[in-house]
């Protein structure tokens, strides 16, 4: 089980971020649906982040967007305001196998 850094957003934050789209680019994001999520720990040390470095981040009902969004050339070129907005969002190291239910077998 490998962890990955994810932006952790509420629905309101996701909606606000998507409002900054340009060229049809959206944040996407997947709702966490794991059975017992609890809290993550913010690893976003940027001063503009809405949660202090090391503080808990409630995970229930939140959406995840991969941290790699910050280095995506299309987003950097076409939606710099969205990139700036994402720097205000907490980041947590999370295991996708824990925060997401497995796909349903058919």
**Torsion of the alpha carbons at 88, 68, 3 and 50, rounded to the nearest 10:** 0
Among the listed residues 73, 77, 95, 76, the one whose alpha carbon sits nearest the alpha carbon of residue 86: 76
pTM: 0.89
Handedness of CA 52, 57, 62, 63 (dihedral sign): positive
Q: Give CA angle at 61 (97, 10), nearest 5°.
A: 110
Task: List, for residues 62-104, the tens digit of each pLDDT value.
Answer: 999 999 988 888 888 888 888 899 999 999 999 998 888 887 7
SS3 content of the chain, % helix, strand, coil (to 5): 30, 20, 50
Residue 5's pLDDT is: 96
Instruction: Say whether pLDDT at 31 is over 70.
Output: yes
**Domain coordinates in residue numbering, the chain:** 4-99
């Amino acid at each position: 089980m490998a962890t990955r850094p994810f932006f952790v957003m509420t629905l309101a934050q996701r909606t606000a971020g998507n409002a900054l789209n340009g060229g049809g680019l959206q944040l996407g994001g997947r709702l966490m649906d794991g059975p017992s999520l609890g809290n993550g720990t913010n690893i976003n040390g940027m001063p503009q982040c809405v949660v202090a470095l090391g503080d808990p981040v409630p995970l229930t009902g939140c959406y995840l967007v991969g941290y790699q969004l910050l280095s995506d050339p299309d987003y950097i070129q076409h939606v710099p305001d969205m990139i700036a907005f994402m720097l205000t969002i907490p980041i947590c190291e999370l295991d996708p196998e824990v925060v997401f239910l497995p796909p349903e077998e058919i």
